[in-house]
Chain A
Amino acid sequence: MDDVKKSSKKEDDKRQKEIEKQWSKAGFNFGLYAVFACLLLILAFYAYKEINKNFLQQKEGELTVTAESALEKIKERTDLSTAMYTYNSVVTVYEDEKIKYHAAYKGKITAGVDLSKFTLSKVTSQNKPGKLIITIPKAEIQDTNIDQNSIDCIFTNNKYNTETVQAEAINKCSDDLKRAAAEDERIKEAAQNNAINSVKALIEPLVKDSGYTVEVKVGESE
Chain B
Amino acid sequence: MMKTPKIISIIVTCALLFGCSTKKEVKSLSKYDIQNICKIATLDLYYQNVAKGTKSPGTGLVHTFETERKFFIRYTGKVTLGVNADNVDIKIKDNEVTVTMPKAEIISEPTVDAISANDIFISPDSFLNKNEIDQDDQKKAIEIAQNEMLETAKNDSEKYDLATDRAQSLIKSFIEAVGEEIGVQYVVVFNTKDS
Contacts and interface: CB of A to CB of B under 8 A. Distances in A.
Contacts of A186: 46, 76
A154 B47 CA distance: 23
Contacts of B74: 88-90
A102 B43 contact: no
B121 A80 contact: no
A80 B170 contact: yes
Given A66-B177, A73-B173, A201 B48 contact: no
B139 interface: no
Contacts of A180: 48
Interface stretch (B19-27, B86-94, B100-108, B127-135): B19-27
A74 to B, nearest CB: 5
A44 interface: yes
A109 B168 CA distance: 24
Contacts of A119: none
Contacts of B137: none
A172 interface: no
Contacts of A104: 50, 52, 72, 121
Given A80-B170, A85-B46, A102-B121, A55 B37 contact: no
Main secondary structure of the interface of B (DSSP, over half): helix
Most chain A beta-carbon neighbours within 10 Å: one of B6, B18, B70: B18
B187 interface: no
B151 interface: no
Interface of A: 33, 36-37, 40-41, 44-45, 47-48, 51-52, 55, 59, 62, 66-67, 69-70, 73-74, 77, 79-80, 83-90, 92, 102, 104, 152, 154-157, 180, 184, 186-187, 189-190, 193-194, 197-198, 200-202, 204-206, 209
8 contacts: A66-B181, A70-B176, A79-B162, A80-B169, A83-B45, A86-B156, A89-B48, A205-B34
Interface of B: 6-7, 10-11, 14-15, 17-19, 22, 24-25, 27, 33-34, 36-50, 52, 70-72, 74, 76, 78, 119, 121-124, 152, 156, 158-159, 162, 165-167, 169-170, 173-174, 176-178, 180-181
